[in-house]
Amino acid sequence: MWSIFSTSGQDDGEATVTGAARWTQILRHTVDVVADRGYAGASLNRIADHVGISKGLISYHFAGKDELLEALVRDVFTRGAEFVMRRWGAHVPPDVPASEALRVYLEGNLGFIAANPRDVGAVVEIVRNHRDAEGRLVFGTAWDEELHKELARIFIAGQEAGEFRRFDPRVMAIAVRRVIDGFTFQITAHPDMDADAFTAEVVTLFDHATRATPMETTTDA
Amino acid sequence: MWSIFSTSGQDDGEATVTGAARWTQILRHTVDVVADRGYAGASLNRIADHVGISKGLISYHFAGKDELLEALVRDVFTRGAEFVMRRWGAHVPPDVPASEALRVYLEGNLGFIAANPRDVGAVVEIVRNHRDAEGRLVFGTAWDEELHKELARIFIAGQEAGEFRRFDPRVMAIAVRRVIDGFTFQITAHPDMDADAFTAEVVTLFDHATRATPMETTTDA
DNA sequence: CTAAAAATTGACCACATGGTCAAAACCGTA
DNA sequence: TACGGTTTTGACCATGTGGTCAATTTTTAG
């Protein structure tokens, strides 16, 4: 699970302590700039100004803007994966019912977002906008594909166990991911919202959406 | 309903036939460029090249890039509203059950997207990215707010009628809108997908998500 | 204390951006 | 044909972009 990037933790190629600190500092400020000026507004100049350093220094620590953004995405993603896995390990014994797995998945993801809204916001912005020279999304497609496959596995397991009704796992996966990402926007736009209440609503929503109705609990079609 | 823009139909300020034709032509090509190069990749130069005219001519027909993008959004939005309203009028007699209203809402929206994926894709791209000089989203917030309110009305009606279970109408509205917009991305990434099947799945999903379970059909808490 | 290494600056580059404008081409019509 | 309005171009502008690099400061180690 969670395997788009094979990286483990800090992939920060900086040798010295100073270097690593700057590296982190630049990433943190990049998050801020992207989060409140958007992908298009996050120029190297603006980021440098925001950090309080010269633009050249960014180039000293990162090969180019692409690498900076990639590092940002990788960093937040890795932390998110750790966060979710920690919860998973704590709450999910082997062979849990799929509905439990789904609940933990949702709570984990929404929990991480609630705790790091700006970071996740920046990542979403980048994933949704960063393109190569030919105009193809750099992360976009593969990213979604991976996350959807992951969820689909949970759904299929639940359907085979008769726990979930029959539905297209792909469509349900899209719905779940879309709602999760939507939460990022919501919490950004309304920072004072009740994240736990939102989470509870979403969990219930998808519980109803997936669970087999008593009469449908039969075997195959 | 559907009232962010008070405009009715073509707001095209062009007096002559030629002018109106160019106006439309530029908008159509802008859709194409935004749809496959993204918001950031849609420069006036690229749009002009794509149309086969000089950049200056765009400025002749539109006061600026902002106005061009606004016109684009308004145009597609208006057509979408008409599309949905037509279906509504055809299929929805007064005092329909809320579940029917929701179904028609979903089918209308997804139907329009399936019929005009690139146009809607471009609009989503613009709405999600276009910012003013201070970095605030120009459409983003108000846009969502309006659409959510609309859906919330349906949900509240359904809950008052005992047809829907008790849930936060706001959260459900967010979920519905997120899934609808997600469909735009899906159909863009996989143009050969089965839109009707997807629609059916989504309708079922939200039917389960909203409908009151037999035992819950009671009155208030 | 000194010399090498690391970190940092600021000037610079080629290029793209949105926007302007005078000149030219096009057009209907008197 | 000549006029007047509309349409269209292409050169131009100020600004911003990502990126480079020699020169400089700061840190580290011998």
Reported as a single tens digit per residue, the pLDDT across B23-50 is: 999 999 999 999 999 999 999 999 999 9
Does a structural domain hold residue A2? Answer: no
Whether chain A has a CB inside 8 Å of the CB on B143: the answer is no
CA of B66 to C1' of C16 (A): 18
Number of domains in chain B: 1
Q: Which domain holds residue B111?
A: 66-216
More confident residue, B175 or B86: B175
More confident residue, B21 or A39: A39
* Residue whose CA is minimally distant from D17 C1': A43
Judge whether residue B100 has pLDDT over 60: yes
Average pLDDT (A141-161) is 94
Token look-up 């195959």 returns: A220
Set of chain B residues whose Cβ sits within 8 Å of the Cβ of A179: 174-175, 178-179
* Contact between residue B164 and residue B154 where contact means Cβ atoms under 8 Å apart: no
CA of B89 to C1' of D10 (A): 51
Report pLDDT for A1. Answer: 39
Distance of alpha carbon A165 from alpha carbon A99, whole angstroms: 11
Where residue B140 falls among pLDDT bands split at 50, 70, 90?
confident
Report pLDDT for B13. Answer: 62
CA of A63 to C1' of D30 (A): 32
Does a structural domain hold residue B16? Answer: no
Exposure pattern of A161-180 as b/e (b: 16+ CB <10 Å)?
A: eebbbebbbbbbbbbbbbbb
Report pLDDT for A89. Answer: 78
Average pLDDT (A68-81) is 96
Does a structural domain hold residue A5? Answer: no
Judge whether residue A120 has pLDDT over 70: yes
Average pLDDT (A185-199) is 96
Report pLDDT for B95. Answer: 80
CB contact under 8 A, A201 and B36: no
| Mean of pLDDT over chain B | 89
Does a structural domain hold residue A154? Answer: yes
Does a structural domain hold residue A172? Answer: yes
Average pLDDT (A147-159) is 95
A3 touches strand D (CB under 7 A): no
Task: For residue B167, report the phi and psi dihedrals to the nearest 5 degrees.
Answer: -150, 165
Measure CB to CB from residue A167 to each of B39, B179, B205 and give the nearest one: B205
Does a structural domain hold residue A221? Answer: no
Judge whether residue B8 has pLDDT over 60: no
Measure CB to CB from residue B179 to each of A39, A137, A175 and give the nearest one: A175
Token look-up 């808490």 returns: B221
Set of chain A residues whose Cβ sits within 8 Å of the Cβ of B200: none
Instruction: Give me the CATH number covering residue A188.
Output: 1.10.357.10
Exposure pattern of B117-146 as b/e (b: 16+ CB <10 Å)?
A: bbbbbbbbbbbbbbbeeeeebbbbeebbee
Does a structural domain hold residue B56? Answer: no
Token look-up 């939200």 returns: B206
Nearest chain B residue to A170 by CA distance is B198
Report pLDDT for B193. Answer: 97
Distance of alpha carbon B166 from alpha carbon A110, whole angstroms: 22
* Contact between residue A30 and residue A55 where contact means Cβ atoms under 8 Å apart: no
Report pLDDT for A87. Answer: 85
| Alpha-carbon distances, residue A78 vs A10, A24, A116, B115 (angstroms) | 8, 14, 13, 39
Does a structural domain hold residue A105? Answer: yes
- Residue B99: CB partners within 8 Å, gap ≥ 6? B158, B163, B164, B207, B210, B211
- CA B18 to chain A, closest CA, distance in angstroms equals 32
| Alpha-carbon distances, residue A179 vs A86, A107, A183, B198 (angstroms) | 22, 12, 6, 17
Judge whether residue A19 has pLDDT over 90: no
Distance of alpha carbon A188 from alpha carbon A191, whole angstroms: 6
Beta-ladder partners of B131: B137
Q: State both tokens at B219.
A: 């009155």
Distance of alpha carbon A34 from alpha carbon B16, whole angstroms: 43
Where residue B89 falls among pLDDT bands split at 50, 70, 90?
confident
Report pLDDT for A146. Answer: 93
Distance of alpha carbon A111 from alpha carbon A106, whole angstroms: 8
Where residue A57 falls among pLDDT bands split at 50, 70, 90?
very high
Measure CB to CB from residue B129 to each of A129, A197, A204 and give the nearest one: A129
Report pLDDT for B70. Answer: 96
Q: What 3 state SS string does chain A have?
A: CCCCCCCCCCCCCCCCHHHHHHHHHHHHHHHHHHHHHHHHHCCHHHHHHHHCCCHHHHHHHCCCHHHHHHHHHHHHHHHHHHHHHHHHHHHCCCCCCHHHHHHHHHHHHHHHHHHCHHHHHHHHHHHHHCECCCCCECCHHHHHHHHHHHHHHHHHHHHHCCCECCCCHHHHHHHHHHHHHHHHHHHHHCCCCCHHHHHHHHHHHHHHHHECCHHHCCCCC
CB contact under 8 A, B179 and A181: no
Count interface pairs A-B at CB distance under 8 A.
102
* Contact between residue B209 and residue A205 where contact means Cβ atoms under 8 Å apart: yes
* Contact between residue A198 and residue A110 where contact means Cβ atoms under 8 Å apart: yes
Report pLDDT for A220. Answer: 44
Report pLDDT for A11. Answer: 53
The identity of residue A127, as a single letter, is V
CB contact under 8 A, B182 and A186: no
* Contact between residue B102 and residue B210 where contact means Cβ atoms under 8 Å apart: yes
Distance of alpha carbon B11 from alpha carbon B13, whole angstroms: 6
* Nucleotide lying nearest to A58, CA to C1' measure: C8
- Residue B168: CB partners within 8 Å, gap ≥ 6? A197, A198, A201
DSSP state of B133: T
Whether chain A has a CB inside 8 Å of the CB on B165: the answer is yes
